[in-house]
Amino acid sequence: MPAGYLALVLHAHLPFVRHPEVPERLEERWFFEAVTECYIPLLEVLHGLDRDGVPFNLTISLSPPLLAMLADPLLQKRYLDHLEAMIRLGEAECRRTAGDRNFYPLAAMYLEKLNGVRRAYVDKYRGDLVAAFRKLWMTGKVELITTCATHGYLPLMQTREARKAQIGVGVDFFTRLFGRPPRGFWLPECGYAPGVEELLKEFGIRYFFVETHGLLNGNPLPLYGVFAPASCNNGVAVFGRDPESSRQVWDRHAGYPGDYYYREFYRDIGFDLDLEYLRPYLPGGVIRVDTGFKYYRITGPGSCKEPYLPDRARERAAEHAAHFLSRRQQQILRQGAGMGRPPLVVAPYDAELFGHWWYEGPQWIDFLCRKICFDQDIIEMITPSRYLSLYPDMQVVEPSLSSWGEGGYSRVWLNQDNDWIYRHLHRAEAVMVDLAALYPEAGGVLKRALNQAARELLLAQSSDWPFILKMGTAVEYARERLVEHIGRFNFLVQQLEKGPIDEETLREIEYRDNIFPHLDYRIFNRHRFPGRVTGGSDASLRILMLSWEYPPATVGGLARHVCDLSRALARLGDEVHVITGPVAGEGTYSLQQGVHVHRLLPGQLNAGDFLRWVEQFNEGAVELTGSVIERWGKPHLVHAHDWMVGAAGERLQVEYHLPLVATIHATEYGRNRGIHTALQRRIHEQEYRLVQEAGLVICCSEYMAEEISRLFAVGREKIRVLPNGVDPASLLAGREKEPDCRDLYHREPNIVFLGRLVPEKGVQVLLEAMPAILRQVSNARLLVAGRGPYGDYLQARVRELGLQDHVRFVGFVDDLGRNRLLEMARVAVFPSLYEPFGIVALEAMAAMVPVVIADTGGLAEIVEHGVDGYRVPAGRPDMLAHYITRVLLYPGLAVEMCRRARRKVLTLYDWQYIAGETRRVYRQALDSPEPSTEPLPSLPARTI
Amino acid sequence: MELPPCYNENRLVLMVQEPAVIFSYWELSREQWESLRGEHFLFLRLYISASSGESASWREISLPPFTDNWYFRDVLPEQSYYAEIGYYGPEGEFYPLVRSNRVTTPRTRKVAGVARFLKADSPFQLTTGEDGEGVPEEGYSSADLWSRS
């Protein structure tokens, strides 16, 4: 067994530079040069090692844009044309330098190399370098992985969906090309942001890499530092970059590539020779560029350069390989002591360093692999996958935000040279996510336009553009590309929104930006992972749903919630079995819109005492589940809604080893603002048990999550927040016409409140605000809908304030009444002092009524202040009056808010979306280890 | 082709550049500007929010005309921030027009903690030592190499 391992990782990437619209484009040379100088030499080295039976191991990351270019027939042809032009230049150089003792041998060397590249490209690889890499992968010595679709820098993206698309499209594209999915993933620029591992896992990724401090500043500091992979909370492995081996290669002063015997990159005949002579080989015949004919060695810091000596440089490459190896040996012997396992050194580099910048780089790799495999036995080369199979135990660490760029964070991709791009990119992200929600199943030309918009967004997100803008070379090109892709995106969006789609222009855009032919725009949909080749987490689930009520039996909002959720899950392809109470007119089993509903018999629930009744219900539910399992098979998990079914959930979890997920819709403590009676205490204890026993807990707002965490002493990481959904169709009944925000211009200045009349709903605050509102809008009128114990007080307060002419109590309203009121409203106000969620505010938003809400509880989480409504500190009549007045006085402002609010409800509070998110929670619960069997600690006394 | 100078939307966005620097950009819709009628000076306020949910105004910038972005260069690591753009009413009350997303700056130090292992045959626990302040490693990347050109 070796004392330690080295994982050499090469990341190959170039931006997508393909310009079919012109015969020649300077930037395509980036690709051509890299093929000649980096990719073919690397392939030759690796195939040579394999041929010679060297048991090396190497990991290569191939970016999707690079793969797309390697596989593209147009670029393949153009590359060959370019290569042949370079060979002609080589022949001209041999003639020009004939007789020169120093330069003729170099010209001849370049010519021979170019002919060799041509032979390899044409005869050996037949133009298909993707196949050449695939062949290496088949040897088992090279592991191929990939990266984001267009090398988008993840930490600066705004939405989870944009990150998801970058990762998912990349994995999908790679898998299609190679016929098998990647196990590892290279984060562009090592850019890690917390949460990325969740998305990687969704796409079947087993490991990724971070910069050194991404692990060392993780929580907690890993025992083995970067010398062993760690595990994220979800089990995805994370490898940290070793700083020492990085520095030896990268460091601008001490690094190997700066050796004085190595070839000088910055002396090229493209800049040194006469323009007339070079003309046939330059782009457009006028632009001086690097030709690759470089005749000098680095020599020293000054501008005086000596001729290049290839044999001497080759010796240096061998010496540097030996040096690198000896340092790794020392490092491993030093680190290995006390680790209890062989340490791993992870050394990732940009593949383009080797051959292009560091001309001797491919030779160095060749020497290094041979030396490691034949000259010593302290170190073995390894791939991350093999290391994980040998040492599957990993310490759990939460990595920290990081990148391998200057400064270690995002300074390179966000600074005064490039910060302007993000207002465009972020907006495009948000629009794309909304479009994917608004067009769940587009077809025909509409689908093509959406797919192309997604392509344009991805191309605009490439980390290369902000990088180039910062570096100051080729700035115009980067700017042009950004403007084109965002411009095309905006153009397509405008056509999608206003129609019709101009097919000819669409075709032209498709022709220009043809990357990712299989792209499906629905990857931007918040809850879908469509068209995936890799799999696992997509399989449908069998879910057992426990709820004491289910429509048509509805006492509270619970039945509606469980019903909407179950149906949406069924639409996603899951098999949902609801275990619930009896209802007149329905048998014990029925299939309702794809949901299997199993009901207890009325005879099973005959107790007069409430708690005894609950016991009966739970006993019956467990029994009924037994027969459901017999008939339908064992479910994947149990989902219990609220404490009343908690006991059944717990028993099923233990008896059948099923993961338990619990939704806590409200707490007894919250409803009563404390625990005051023996019954309340019993319920409170039941809630505590359920929260403790469940693998994961779902609630409707961050506010509730805090409350649950505090009351029941559970870690916040166990709780997931999923909002309640709204069905916009239910808001139409009783209205004269469909919601249209332009109607706000014509409506009376009606202020509407809907809710129970209890102090915590805050109507009294609104009354106090009325005089200030009336001073600016004298004909404003407040309509208060609802009833409750506080009604009398409020009516008296209206009289005291002299508001009788401006406030009307309309009493209790049903759904129709609510819809009619919303149709009259210029603004809806929810001034609550306490509010776990606030579904009415969402209903108002869905009905396109501007909302002013109190900044409290879960209610506050619904509204983005100044964007889709206003949020006012609770209990502040002056502030409330200010914002209500703004909305009444400036309908234009309100119209924009209503548009945004409506879109939010349709996309974020859509049951289909919530069901998708619920599935994600199920997946996490299924991945969690078995619950412990230790007895529960007793309920913390302070909450009672 | 040109990009639109604005999208006629209200928005205020924070981005973490590095542990000590937050970048913000914003836009106010035409209707929003009309409702202001040039009557108010606008201020950009950065808030720091504690884990308890309480937040405090951390920096306030009087916005010069025609600015649409700002770098806060002295923020703290491991903190949550959000921002508002608004104006002062006659009684000195601050009225935010728009509020931003929340961002969290990264940690810049090493933290000790109980080591938890996954997939181990016999779970064992070890504690990492108190290493004190860690210094982030210099980034060595293509960015540095390319900058030589």
Asked if A427 lies within 8 A of B7 by C-beta distance, the reply is: yes
Residue of A nearest to B26 (CA): A423
Considering only CB atoms, which chain B residues are within 8 Å of A243?
A: 137, 140
**E strand spans, chain B:** 11-18, 21-27, 43-49, 55-62, 69-72, 80-88, 94-99, 103-104, 114-115, 117-118, 126-127
Spatial CA neighbour of B4 closest among A904, A453, A493: A493
Residue B136 lies in a domain: no
Domain spans in chain A, listed from the N-terminal domain onward: 4-247+344-408, 421-524, 542-721, 734-909
**Number of neighbours of residue A271 by Cβ within 10 angstroms:** 12
Residue B132 lies in a domain: no
> And the tokens for B29?
């819709």
Show which of residues 838-867 on chain A sit within 8 Å of chain B, judged by CB atoms: 864-867
Residue B79: CB partners within 8 Å, gap ≥ 6? B48, B49, B104, B105
Report the half-sphere exposure of A225 (CA within 13 A, side-chain side): 17
Asked if A892 lies within 8 A of B35 by C-beta distance, the reply is: yes
Cis omega before residue A891 (within 30°)?
Answer: no
Residue B23 lies in a domain: yes
Architecture of the domain made up of A542-721: 3-Layer(aba) Sandwich (3.40)
Measured between alpha carbons, how far is A869 from B10 in angstroms, rounded to an integer? 11
Give the model's pLDDT for residue A527: 66
- Is A241 annotated among the ligand-binding residues? yes
> What CATH number has the domain bearing residue B47?
2.60.40.10
Residue A50: CB partners within 8 Å, gap ≥ 6? A136, A139, A141
B117 to chain A, any CB pair closer than 8 A? The answer is: yes
State residue A752 phi and psi, 5-degree precision. -115, 135
Tally A–B CB contacts below 8 A: 206
Q: What is the DSSP letter of A823?
A: H
Asked if A896 lies within 8 A of B10 by C-beta distance, the reply is: yes
CATH topology match: A421-524 vs A542-721: no
Residue B143 lies in a domain: no
Given A212, A395, A895, which is nearest B116 (Cβ)?
A: A395
Give the model's pLDDT for residue B122: 32
pLDDT mean values, one per 10 residues, chain A (944 residues): 96 97 94 98 98 97 98 97 97 97 97 98 97 96 98 97 97 96 97 96 95 96 95 94 92 87 95 94 90 95 94 97 97 89 96 96 98 96 95 94 97 98 97 92 95 98 98 94 97 93 96 96 76 48 94 76 93 94 90 94 90 94 95 95 95 94 91 88 94 95 92 92 89 89 92 92 97 97 94 97 97 89 96 87 95 93 95 96 96 92 90 88 81 54 42
Class of domain A421-524: mainly alpha
**Residue A697 bridge partners (DSSP):** A662, A719
B58: closest CA of chain A, how far (Å): 19
**Contact between residue A76 and residue A25 where contact means Cβ atoms under 8 Å apart:** no
Show which of residues 488-507 on chain A sit within 8 Å of chain B, judged by CB atoms: 490
**Residue B119 bridge partners (DSSP):** none
The two beta strands, A637-641 and A542-546, are: parallel
- A189 is known as an active-site residue: yes
> And the tokens for A585?
């007119």
Give the model's pLDDT for residue A920: 87
- Is A404 annotated among the ligand-binding residues? yes
Measured between alpha carbons, how far is B146 from B149 in angstroms, rounded to an integer? 6
Considering only CB atoms, which chain B residues are within 8 Å of A155?
A: 16
Structural domain boundaries, residue B65: 11-104
Predicted confidence band at B142 (pLDDT cuts at 50, 70, 90)?
Answer: very low
Residue of B nearest to A243 (CA): B137
Measured between alpha carbons, how far is A44 from A41 in angstroms, rounded to an integer? 5
Q: Sign of the CA dihedral A710, A712, A715, A717?
A: negative
**∠ CA A65-A67-A72 to the nearest 5 degrees?**
95
- A128 is known as an active-site residue: no
Residue B110 lies in a domain: no
The two beta strands, B117-118 and A394-396, are: antiparallel
What is the arrangement of strands in the sheet containing B11-18, beginning at the earlier edge strand? B11-18, B21-27, B69-72
B17 to chain A, any CB pair closer than 8 A? The answer is: yes
Measured between alpha carbons, how far is A357 from A257 in angstroms, rounded to an integer? 8
**Residue B26 bridge partners (DSSP):** B12
> And the tokens for B25?
């950009």
Q: Sign of the CA dihedral A109, A115, A118, A122?
A: negative
Q: What is the DSSP letter of B141?
A: S
Asked if A882 lies within 8 A of B89 by C-beta distance, the reply is: yes
Q: Which amino acid is at A425?
A: L
Measured between alpha carbons, how far is A283 from A175 in angstroms, rounded to an integer? 35
**Contact between residue A475 and residue A468 where contact means Cβ atoms under 8 Å apart:** yes
Given A216, A415, A424, which is nearest B110 (Cβ)?
A: A216
> And the tokens for A33?
């040069």
**E strand spans, A749-879:** 750-754, 781-785, 807-811, 827-830, 851-854, 870-872
Predicted confidence band at B137 (pLDDT cuts at 50, 70, 90)?
Answer: very low
Give the model's pLDDT for residue B58: 86
Structural domains of chain B, count: 1
- Is A878 annotated among the ligand-binding residues? no
Residue B39 lies in a domain: yes
Given A220, A422, A886, which is nearest B113 (Cβ)?
A: A220
DSSP letter string, A325-348: HHHHHHHHHHHHTTTSS--EEEEE
Distance of CA A589 to the CA centre of its chain: 40
The topology (CATH level 3) of A734-909 is Rossmann fold (3.40.50)
SS3 A253: coil
Q: No. of H helices and E strands in chain B? A: 2, 11
Measured between alpha carbons, how far is A106 from A97 in angstroms, rounded to an integer? 9
Class of domain A4-247+344-408: alpha beta
The two beta strands, A230-231 and A237-240, are: antiparallel
Gyration radius of chain B's alpha carbons? 21
Spatial CA neighbour of A729 closest among A867, A868, A564: A564
Residue B72 lies in a domain: yes
**Residue B46 bridge partners (DSSP):** B59, B83
Burial level of A747, CB count in 10 A (0-12/13-18/19+)? middle
B131 to chain A, any CB pair closer than 8 A? The answer is: yes
A658: closest CA of chain B, how far (Å): 20
Measured between alpha carbons, how far is A172 from A662 in angstroms, rounded to an integer? 34
User: How far are the Cα atoms of A365, A427, A591, A866 from residue B27, in angstroms, in the given order?
Assistant: 51, 11, 51, 11
Task: Show the 3-state SS of A663-717.
Answer: ECCCCHHHHHCCCCCHHHHHHHHHHHHHHHHCCEEEECCHHHHHHHHHHHCCCHH
State residue A7 phi and psi, 5-degree precision. -110, 105
Measured between alpha carbons, how far is A148 from A740 in angstroms, rounded to an integer? 40
**Contact between residue A658 and residue A614 where contact means Cβ atoms under 8 Å apart:** no
- Is A464 annotated among the ligand-binding residues? yes
Per residue in B58-105, pLDDT (tens digit) is 899 999 988 999 999 999 999 999 999 999 998 899 999 999 999 999
